[in-house]
Every structure is written in structure tokens, then in C-alpha cells.
Amino acid sequence: MRKSFYTLSGLVRQAMNLDPMNGALFVFKNKSNNSLKILYFDGDGFAIWYKKLAKGTFKFPDLGKYDCSGIEIDATTLRLILDGIDLINIRKRNRYAIENNVESIV
């Protein structure tokens, strides 16, 4: 967790092939899963939000089943991770959604 603004934004560019200035939040965790950093560009500069738990760990989706350096999660999933919810035991219910002007059940 020693990396800061420029190194983390470089990881986003090189490892993820994404633009760190696109408005997305990029979450980085340590091996112990008890600290995380969130890097984001707020319009005129980079900002980092850092959290280290006094007790317990964050439970992240398993990257081992994906062939990538990261996965995309939505704001609700990030909130569950930050709140200490184990995502393995949670299942998302189908909901109506409009995507690209096409109605679908998500």
C-alpha cells in the first residue's frame, strides 16, 4: 500500500488498459485484505481515499476465476464490500432495466 497517485494511475493505464481520468473509481487492496485505496480523478486532479480496518477484512470477488487484472463492479457492490458484506452469500434478483434503448430483464 505504498503506491500513490502517479504509480496507481500508471497501473490503471498499463495493467488495466484504462484511462484513470475517465471518472471511474479504481479500488486497490493489499494481500491481507484489511486495507484499500480508491483512486479517482475529480475533474481537476487525482484523489485517493484510503481505509485500513482495525479488525476484520474486506471480502472481494475472486479474481482467480477471471483472466484479467481487475473486474468492474457497480456502486452497490462497492458499498457492500466497504460495509463488510460477504458477496458469496448474496444473490441479485432480476429487475427491469432499459439498456441501449432495449428493454431487458437484468
- What's the pLDDT tens digit per position in 9-29? 999 999 888 999 999 999 999
pTM for the full predicted model: 0.74
- Length of the chain as a residue count: 106
Nearest alpha carbon to residue 23 among 36, 7, 39? 39
- What's the pLDDT tens digit per position in 24-51? 999 999 999 999 999 999 999 999 999 9
Cβ count within 10 A of residue 105? 7
Phi-psi region of 39 (alpha: psi -120 to 50; beta: other; left: phi over 0): beta
Which of 12-28 are b and which e, b meaning 16 or more Cβ less than 10 Å from the residue's Cβ? beeeeebebeeeeebbb
